Amino acid sequence: MKKRNSIKIISYIAVLLVLVLLALYFLHRARMHQQDFRNITATSEIDATMTIGFVVRKFGIPEDELLKELQLSNVHWNKRYTIADACKKNKLDCKAVVDSLNKKVTK
C-alpha cells in the first residue's frame, strides 16, 4: 500500500516538474519575441519582416499606397502579412519594394 502511494507521489512530482519546465520555456520564448520586436521597432527603416499594419502605423505611409505597391487588395487579413510574405505571394522583388518604401519614408 505504501509503495503505491510513493509511486503516485513521485509521478505527480514528475508531472508538476514537466509543467513548470514547459511554463518556463514558453515564458522564455515570449521574452525573446518581445526583445526581437523592440529591436525591429527601434530602427528608422522599413524591413521586410515588418507587417503591413505596423508599417502603416509607424511610418505613416498611406495604406492604399502600400497595398497598391504590394499588389494586395484592401482587406483586413492582408494587413497581417509581412512585406516578405506579400512579395512572395505576388512574386515581387522584395529588396526593390523595401528600397522604394524606404525612399518614400525619407522624403
Alpha carbon distance 25, 38 (integer Å): 20
Q: Which pLDDT value is given to residue 105?
A: 78
Per the rule left: phi > 0, alpha: psi between -120 and 50, beta: everything else, 47 is beta
Per-residue pLDDT reduced to its tens digit, 17-73 = 999 999 999 999 999 888 877 776 667 788 888 888 888 888 888 888 888 888 887
The cell numbers describing 91, all together, are 512574386
Q: Which pLDDT value is given to residue 26?
A: 95
Q: Which pLDDT value is given to residue 14?
A: 96
pLDDT at 8 over 60: yes
Q: Burial code of 11-26, b = ≥16 C-beta within 10 A, e = fewer?
A: eeeeeeeeeeeeeeee
pLDDT at 77 over 90: no
Do 67 and 27 meet the contact criterion of CB atoms below 8 Å apart?
A: no
